[in-house]
């Protein structure tokens, strides 16, 4: 089996493992005529059985596997230096995150939640490195595209059944109740849609109708889940894929004219369509919603309140890895522990604030420095198509960093790292060469 085929299987397993976590629970609920909106309840999650551990087992395997696989491949000096810096950065982050446990500011069980997102991050970084083996053969890409399409159809089918039952039992409008599909949470379903759309972008030698169909399914899943950030992200990807497909058939002057004419219209359509879609799926006034209890602005104000009464030591190094994570708070709720009794232990839809809770200002500075170094490292050579993809992926990443805890988002983190890795493998400035504009056309044109 070639490296590209092995990597295609890894991608397939990433999706299958996550979808299998709560799929039996979702199908069982449908069989009994039940529909749960927004989240599966605690009893359903606890009763999911051993399948809910498939994803964690796969991530642990990948976290161990990729350094071993790496030792068997040859990389340019730039990549070796990058990996050395990554190891140092990771050790510094972990060291800062452990201080709170050493001085006994937080119970040790929080550390298990911190280790979980560290494993996800480490496995995702490995996927970035291995993504240079992303299959280029149209036949392999088409098979992977078909598999992702089948998984998308399964989730869309469950969402439609949930909607049908919801209309009967609860009289909900489409997506107004935020359908979960085969996942435990509607937000996870939305990130699944974003991941599908990104793969439709990077599988650029697969069937064009298949890529467009996968993006359409991704948007349906995002809309059914009511996830606004997912709708915007998929719209960005759809616009980029459309531009790539059209621009391959246009002369340079025509493309420049098209950009001048189309960009203002596209921006207006995106903004207007976004507000119409959000209202259609029952999310209401997004600005007012952010100010209400549980909204991002309201949560950020609570975080500022926490910071205002924090000790200097807490502000410097945080309360320890795992604080304020979904994993930790879900565990506490199941165990009957009040999460609010621990300082900084509140869910905030912002990666930077959550990291500050865990590792303080020192850890936040380390994280931002590492992120900036990564984005600089993967910045592609002066090729128009590559730069456009890079900017689109960067916008989606920043939106998810500010709009959620990206370090706990399985689909988003793994897929974004794979996409950046694929981009680096094709156009990376630190590779032995920088691909030309002519070669980029060959990359983007199916055989």
Does residue 37 sit within a domain? yes
| Contact between 357 and 409 (Cβ < 8 Å) | no
| Number of structural domains found in the chain | 1
Q: Would the pTM of this model clear 0.85, i.e. be above it? A: yes
Two tokens, residue 176? 């107004």
C-alpha span between 433 and 427 (Å, rounded): 8
- Positions of the chain with pLDDT under 50: 175, 260, 287, 293, 431-440, 442-447
| Contact between 89 and 370 (Cβ < 8 Å) | yes
Q: What is the pLDDT of residue 276?
A: 52
Does residue 324 sit within a domain? no
| Contact between 321 and 118 (Cβ < 8 Å) | yes
Q: Single out the residue of 392, 315, 398, 390 nearest to residue 351, CA to CA.
A: 398
Query: Domain of 123?
Result: 3-295+339-444
Does residue 169 sit within a domain? yes
Two tokens, residue 201? 């972008």
Q: What is the pLDDT of residue 71?
A: 77
Per-residue pLDDT of 280-323, as tens digits, reads 555 555 545 555 545 567 777 777 777 878 888 899 999 999 99
Determine which helix (DSSP H) or strand (DSSP E) holds 412, and give its type and residue range. Answer: helix 410-427
Residue whose entry in the numeric block shows the structure tokens 């990948």:
62
Q: What is the residue-wise DSSP string for 194-227?
A: HHHHHHHHH-TTS-HHHHHHHHHHHHHHHHHHT-
Q: What is the residue-wise DSSP string for 370-403?
A: HHHHHHHHH-B-S-HHHHHHHHHHHHHHHHHHHH
Does residue 241 sit within a domain? yes
Go through the chain and tell me how many residues it has: 447
| Contact between 297 and 88 (Cβ < 8 Å) | no
Does residue 196 sit within a domain? yes
C-alpha span between 234 and 215 (Å, rounded): 7
Does residue 28 sit within a domain? yes
Collapse the DSSP code of 347 into the 3-class scheme (helix H, G, I; strand E, B; otherwise coil) and give the result: coil
Does residue 318 sit within a domain? no
Does residue 334 sit within a domain? no
Per-residue pLDDT of 215-266, as tens digits, reads 999 999 998 888 888 999 999 999 899 888 887 666 555 555 555 455 555 5
Residue whose entry in the numeric block shows the structure tokens 């089996």:
1
């Amino acid at each position: 089996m070639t490296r590209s085929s092995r990597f295609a299987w890894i991608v397939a397993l990433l999706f299958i493992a996550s979808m299998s976590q709560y799929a039996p629970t979702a199908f069982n609920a449908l069989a009994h005529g039940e529909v749960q909106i927004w989240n599966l309840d605690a009893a359903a999650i606890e009763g999911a059985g051993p399948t809910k551990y498939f994803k964690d087992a796969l991530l642990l395997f990948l976290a161990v596997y990729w350094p071993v696989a790496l030792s068997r491949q040859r990389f340019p000096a730039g990549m070796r230096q990058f990996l050395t810096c990554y190891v140092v950065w990771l050790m510094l982050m972990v060291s800062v995150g452990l201080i709170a446990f050493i001085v006994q500011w937080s119970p040790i069980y929080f550390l298990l939640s911190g280790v979980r997102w560290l494993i996800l991050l480490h496995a995702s970084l490995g996927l970035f490195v291995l993504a240079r083996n992303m299959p280029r053969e149209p036949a392999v890409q088409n098979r992977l595209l078909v598999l992702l399409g089948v998984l998308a159809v399964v989730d869309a089918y469950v969402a439609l059944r949930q909607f049908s039952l919801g209309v009967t039992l609860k009289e909900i409008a489409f997506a107004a109740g935020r359908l979960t599909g085969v996942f435990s949470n509607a937000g996870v379903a939305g990130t699944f849609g974003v991941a599908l759309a990104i793969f439709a972008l990077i599988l650029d030698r697969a069937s064009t109708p298949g890529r467009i169909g996968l993006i359409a399914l991704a948007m349906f899943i995002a809309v059914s889940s009511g996830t606004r950030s997912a709708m915007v992200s998929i719209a960005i990807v759809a616009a980029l894929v459309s531009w790539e497909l059209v621009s391959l058939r246009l002369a340079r002057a025509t493309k420049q004219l098209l950009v001048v004419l189309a960009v203002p219209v596209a921006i207006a359509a995106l903004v207007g369509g976004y507000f119409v879609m959000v209202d259609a799926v029952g999310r209401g006034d997004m600005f007012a919603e952010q100010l209400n209890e549980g909204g991002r602005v309201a949560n950020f104000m609570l975080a500022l309140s926490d910071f205002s009464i924090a000790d200097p030591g807490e502000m410097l190094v945080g309360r320890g890895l795992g604080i304020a994570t979904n994993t930790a708070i879900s565990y506490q709720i199941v165990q009957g522990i009040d999460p609010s009794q621990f300082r900084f232990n509140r869910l905030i839809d912002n990666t930077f604030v959550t990291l500050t809770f865990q590792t303080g200002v020192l850890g936040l500075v380390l994280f931002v420095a590492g992120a900036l170094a990564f984005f600089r490292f993967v910045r592609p050579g002066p090729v128009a198509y590559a730069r456009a993809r890079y900017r689109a992926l960067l916008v989606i990443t920043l939106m998810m960093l500010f709009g959620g805890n990206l370090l706990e988002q399985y689909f988003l983190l793994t897929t974004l790292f794979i996409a950046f890795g694929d981009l680096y493998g094709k156009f990376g400035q630190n590779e032995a060469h920088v691909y030309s504009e002519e070669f980029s056309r060959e990359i983007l044109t199916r055989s």
